[in-house]
Amino acid sequence: MTWEKTGFSTKAVHGGEKLEKGSVATPIYETSVFAFTSTKELINVISEKTEGYLYTRFDNPTVRAVERKIAVLEGSEDAAAFSSGMAAITTTLLTLVSKGDHVVASRDLYGGTLTFLQELLPRFDIEINLVDTANLNQVKEAIKKNTRVVYAEIPTNPTLKIVDLSRLAALAKKHSITTVIDSTLATPYNLTPIKFGIDVVVHSATKYLGGHNDVTAGIVCGSREFIQKLKKTRKILGGTLDPMAAWLLLRGLKTLALRMERHNRNGMQIAQFLEKHPKIAKVYYPGLPSHPQHRLAKKQMRGYGGVVSFEIKGDFEKTVQFVENLKLCLLAASLGGTETLATQPTTSSHYFITPEQRQKLGITDQLVRLALGIEDPEDIIADLKQSLEKI
């Protein structure tokens, strides 16, 4: 079956599955190793002369099904699955860079990625420059002869900045630089960066792809050639996804379109509610016309997702009071699941950086990140209202 002409939901339900013996769901191959009937067969698989499975750290049929499905959804030639988003990101970067190379990255990245770039990679003589990737002039100025990778997130977390993907890809191609986009907050339902010329797409599948706050996983999508190289690194570093987690991810993906429709609707409705509320100073949501890059977001994206950030009129204590008084929304630091989660970036994702760094990134004491779930929007709004009334 070719998937290009099918709709997103059809791809999500059927894409990548190779079912046998009347089974409707892909089975969980919960085995760490595979047996052979002959040495010749073993040699053929180990030397990659024939397709087959040898050892689950290398590859596994349930893991392979999830990789094929996500490749169909992202429109990439292939994909590789990892035990976490961080395993996906670090294995990708270690595949792409060597001693003496230079990386240009967004300064608004997820904390774990930033730590890897700023603290681990420099130990291997890899130089990093952090810029505001929403401003392509800064990217252009940072590029050097030894730049191998440009790395960004879309939308960024928690202030939801957008990168112009076509222009970023064109700029990088001119200098033979590989572009890597962490598209966790967008998901392939809302955005497919590869269509804009981006080389590699990474996801924390722990978020929307898994979608139920019950699985930790990572995904990388790219060309067949790159994924082959990446899998060689994965084999050594060992961050392959476990078959049980792969199966949960596979199940979560089947409802991705349905969930994203609701996340998008909740995002829009709650951003609009917050923008009008007298106790709210500022709302960050790319779907709002007041977002500085709304036109670019509209051009690139099908929907704007379920993350809405906002500043409360008040101080740190009042913001603590607000998140603690929420009854339906849970005080928890993730996103993309069925449950609505609220956090203050100052006490979670950006807790370990200095106040000066926070100020640079627009992370104030009054900032709240709401990762909307798929509950009824009226109930989420009622919860926000009652908590705002108390401050």
Ligand X SMILES: Cc1ncc(COP(=O)(O)O)c(C=O)c1O
Q: Annotated catalytic sites, by residue?
A: 57, 110, 182, 207
- Decide: is 110 part of the binding site for ligand X (CB under 6 A): yes
Q: Which among 82, 61, 29 is positioned nearest to 209, based on CA atoms? A: 82
CB of 255 to ligand X, least distance (A): 19
Task: Scan residues 241-300 and list those touching ligand X (CB under 6 A).
Answer: none
Tokens matching residue 242: 């476990």
CB of 216 to ligand X, least distance (A): 5
Residue with smaller CB distance to ligand X, 182 or 199: 182
> DSSP readout, 50-102?
S---SBTTT--HHHHHHHHHHHHHHT-SEEEEESSHHHHHHHHHHHH--TT-E
CB of 36 to ligand X, least distance (A): 34
Tokens matching residue 44: 């053929």
CB of 84 to ligand X, least distance (A): 3
The residues that bridge with 151 in the sheet, in sequence order, are: 105, 180
- Decide: is 319 part of the binding site for ligand X (CB under 6 A): no
Single residue of 112, 197, 314, 362 touching ligand X by CB under 6 A: 112
Q: Tell me the helices (H) and strands (E) count for the chain, helix number first.
A: 15, 12
Tokens matching residue 107: 């300064």
The residue count for the chain: 391
Single residue of 17, 67, 74, 153 touching ligand X by CB under 6 A: 153
Element (H, E) at 167: helix 165-174
Task: Scan residues 47-86 and list those touching ligand X (CB under 6 A).
Answer: 84-86
Residue with smaller CB distance to ligand X, 190 or 216: 216
Task: Scan residues 167-206 and list those touching ligand X (CB under 6 A).
Answer: 182, 184, 204, 206
Residue count at the site for ligand X (CB under 6 A)? 13
Q: How many C-beta neighbours within 10 Å does residue 241 have?
A: 29
Single residue of 90, 95, 133, 157 touching ligand X by CB under 6 A: 157
Tokens matching residue 108: 């608004």
Q: Which residues bind ligand X (CB under 6 A)?
A: 84-86, 110, 112, 153, 157, 182, 184, 204, 206, 216, 218
